[in-house]
Structure 1
Amino acid sequence: MAVTVETLEKLERKITLTLPVDTIQNEVNTRLRKLARTVKMDGFRPGKVPMNVVAQRYGYSVHYEVMNDKVGEAFSVAANEAQLRVAGQPRITEAEKAPEGQVAFDAVFEVFPEVKIGDLSTAEVEKISTEVTDAAIDKTVEILRKQRRTFAQRAQDAAAQDGDRVTVDFEGKIDGEPFAGGKASDFQFIVGEGQMLKEFEDATRGMKLGESKTFPLAFPADYHGKDVAGKTADFLVTLKKLEAAHLPAVDGELAKSLGIADATVEGLRADIRKNLEREVKFRLLGRNKAAVMDALVSKAELDLPKASVQAEVERLVAGAREDLKQRGIKDADKAPIPEDMFRPQAERRVRLGLVVAELVKANNLQAKPEQLKAHVEELASSYEKPADVMRWYFSDNRRMAEVEAVVIENNVTDFVLAKAKVTEKSVAFDELMGQN
């Protein structure tokens, strides 16, 4: 049959569907007869309910089901015949006029856009690189030592200093009144590591065992405790225990305790370098991939299907609710989350998805089996039993779909970088890793 497709606006289309009334009624009768064989109603034995009674009770709902099914089938056939790539679900309403013996419906829907990608050789991308330095390895060694430090009682007349673990009693008052969370006994923290507000640490630093001190503490305006945020409290703190930290020596014993196969200092540093280089590689890939995707989107022209954007907005809102639930927020399901705050992100995701899909199709950038295997091997290599991790990935289609998406993104990144104007930039290790 010939299908007439009307263009309403940009990506919006309309098709008028017609269905014979007889076809619908015959299907309704067939379903009612089938229902009559099993339906149970008071006053009748199963299977003996008269058809007119069944039709009276269930006729409307069965008719509604049949109309939904038949209109859906007709739309699918019409869209396929017109070779349309439909985005989202059609809005179907009954048409005002229909030929005799027919019912007519208008299906209004969106189609996926034509994506035009401009000249990628004019795209500008800043590609960053980072070197794993000896200083980065030194810093990691210090972190590992801190994680394995022990504490011992300091001398009676010693003063608290950075790195010491202190045990204190404290009580805070605002305008002479205690407040919730402002009092604790035998509270431990390590001086100089930012576990407490700066004024608290400054007051404790230099105190001796048994000493008490009163000091003012101004809570920041954005402090997590809303009752005290932006207010100043007077705290009384008493130092009850003072312990010095002892960090293990950097030697074979430390390497052994960390499970390093080559239990030497050299083996430890080599293992750290290998792990840092793996982490750096993934972070560089992420940053460079984001820069490539920005450049790619800037070179593309397309209209966005509203239905796809709305579906993405709803996914993001659902994700935000789930995040609130995971954090233990009460009534997370009812929390007012404005959709508009997610719309720019949703539009970018949809735009990027369509552009990437077009580039992949046009340039045969699909993930190849050997690429999937290599990526899974790389992911598994940092685990103690890589073979088990690889089996875990390969045994689940959903996990492999995630791997495939990453590999395709990597292929797109490499393709764009090979064509674009690339500026190389070296960034410090700490900057890449987000450290101070």
Structure 2
Amino acid sequence: PRVDIKGRKIEKKTCKVESADVDRTIETLRKRRTTWEPGETPAAEDDRLLIDFKGTIDDQPFEGSEAENYPVVIGGGTMLKEFEEQLTGTSVGDSVTVNLTFPEDYPKSEIAGKAAQFTVEVREVGKPGLPELDEDFIKSFGVEEGTEPAFRKQILENLERERDQRIRNDIRMAVIEALIEDNEFDLPGSMVEEEVDRAVMASRTQLQQQGLPSDGPVDRDLFQDSALRRVKVGLVMHEIVKQREIKPDEAAVRKRLDEMASGYDDPQQFINWYREDRSRLAQIEAAVVEDQVVEALIEEAQVTETTVSFETFMNPAGMATAQ
């Protein structure tokens, strides 16, 4: 296999966390603590309704078509947009009929693209109230000083940490894409089958955790492409580590552990937990070695840097939708 990306073009996006990004995060945190007070005015954007509803398709009920005392925030996106929009202007005690068509790409294929009708009873219209940015609110996030400057400092550090992690991940994915593009070589069939086995097992475990049946037949072909990719990436990475004799840098291991531990109440306990078990520490070392491989490869590529806003960088799909 090819074990370098010399001359390949890699785009690296960078951004600076601005004061407005901290402001936006604070507002998001306040909204997560929203309280709802019954109101007398009709339902409007951001109001939370408690509703009973019954739905039918071709005059027949369907799975998930009925609920009582169900919370819906208008504009919150918990229900289809068409459903929420038709609740605007309703009041407590109103009974309305909501007509909509499920999108063609709706997750439940049995009702995707079909027209439905819902009878909705409005039990309550709650008006939102946001908590004050006071000492109690700030301390609830672990900022002992309880002051706004200390709160903003903590948020800034967290956002910068998220940004740095995102940059690393994006560069890693770009390097891997450049590394395996047009890089054809024979893959051991047994390794691919083992990778498919792991993917199937992970899928069954996820179904169990969701309380869904997990012992039914599984189409292994669904996991084939991703298994081929993982095996190819693993073999190429292994060859690079071997040829370049890359060893985990202890300083980088310490830094990675410190970053991971920073979000815990007792960071040192978290670090000790990893260091006292060789297999756990090996996971961190493997991640560090992969970073070192990426760093070595990126030096040989043609890297172009693009500066974007923090919001665009962290949520490119959302910004594209908004535009």
Above 0.5 in TM-score?
yes
- Identify which of 45, 57, 77 aligns with 1:194: 77
For residues 98-247 of structure 1, what are the structure 2 equivalents within 5 Å? 115-117=1-3, 120-155=5-40, 158-179=41-62, 181-225=64-108, 228-247=111-130
Q: Determine the structure 1 residue equivalent to 2:202.
A: 319
Residues 171 and 182 in structure 1, CA contact (< 8 A), matched pair in contact too:
yes
Alpha-carbon displacement from aligned partner over 1:89-136 (angstroms, at most 9, x marks no partner): xxxxxxxxxxxxxxxxxxxxxxxxxx5535x44232222223222232
Please give the alpha-carbon distance, in whole angstroms, between the structure 1 residues aligned to 2:89 and 2:276: 59
Q: Are residue 399 (structure 1) and residue 280 (structure 2) matched?
A: yes
Q: Which has the higher contact order (CA 8 A, sep 6+)?
A: 2
Map 1:21-420 → 2, pairs under 5 A? 115-117=1-3, 120-155=5-40, 158-179=41-62, 181-225=64-108, 228-298=111-181, 302-330=185-213, 332-339=214-221, 341-420=222-301
Change (3 A) 1:360 1:248: same
**Could you give the per-residue CA deviations for residues 16-47 of structure 1, whole angstroms, max 9, x where no partner exists?**
xxxxxxxxxxxxxxxxxxxxxxxxxxxxxxxx
Deviation at 1:367, TM superposition (A): 0.2
> Aligned residue for 1:54?
none
Q: Is the 8 A contact 2:13 2:313 kept in 1?
A: no
1:176-235 Cα deviation digits (max 9, x unpaired): 455554333332222110112222211211112322222322233444555544332332
Q: Which amino acid aligns with 2:245?
A: N
Residues 1:170 and 1:317: Cα distance change in structure 2 (over 3 Å): closer
> Which structure has greater strand proportion?
1
SS at match of 1:237: strand
Q: Is the 8 A contact 1:126 1:424 kept in 2?
A: yes
Say if 2:200 and 2:218, in contact at 8 Å, map to a contact too: no
| Contact 1:300 1:355 (C-alpha < 8 Å) held by counterparts | no
When residues 419 and 179 of structure 1 are mapped into structure 2, their CA distance, relative to the original with a 3 A threshold, is closer
Q: Distance in 2 between the 1:320 and 1:205 partners? A: 40
In the alignment, the residues of structure 2 paired with residue 225 and residue 344 of structure 1 have an alpha-carbon distance, to the nearest angstrom, of 24
CA contact (8 A) 2:11 2:304 kept: yes
Gaps of 5+ in 2: 319-323
Shift of 1:347: 2.8
- In structure 2, give the amino acid aligned to 1:205: T
Q: Could you say what the CA RMSD is over the residues aligned between the two structures, in angstroms?
A: 2.5
* Structure 1 residues 178 and 256: CA distance shift in structure 2, 3 A: same
1:133 aligned partner, one-letter code:
E
Aligned-residue sequence identity (percent) comes to: 36
Preserved contact between residue 49 and residue 122 of structure 2 (Cα < 8 Å): yes
Give SS of 1:122's match: coil
User: Are the structure 2 counterparts of residues 251 and 179 from structure 1 closer, same or farther at C-alpha, using a change threshold of 3 Å?
Assistant: same
What's the CA shift string for 1:118-162, capped at 9, x where partnerless? 5x442322222232222322221111101112121213xx11111
Q: Distance in 2 between matches of 1:264 and 1:337?
A: 55
Corresponding pairs, count: 317
Check 1:286–1:116 CA distance in 2 against 1; reply closer, same or farther (3 A cut): closer
Q: State the distance in 2 between where 1:309 and 1:123 align.
A: 28
Residue 353 of structure 1 aligns to a residue whose secondary structure is helix
Q: Which has the larger radius of gyration?
A: 1
Q: Could you say which residue in structure 1 is the equivalent of 2:321? A: none
**3-state SS of paired residue (2:69):** strand
SS of alignment partner, residue 159 of structure 1: coil
Q: Secondary structure at the match of 2:65?
A: strand
Which amino acid is 1:320 matched to?
S
Does the CA-based 8 Å contact 1:117-1:301 persist in structure 2?
no
Matches of 2:256 and 2:56, distance apart in 1: 57
Change (3 A) 1:299 1:261: farther
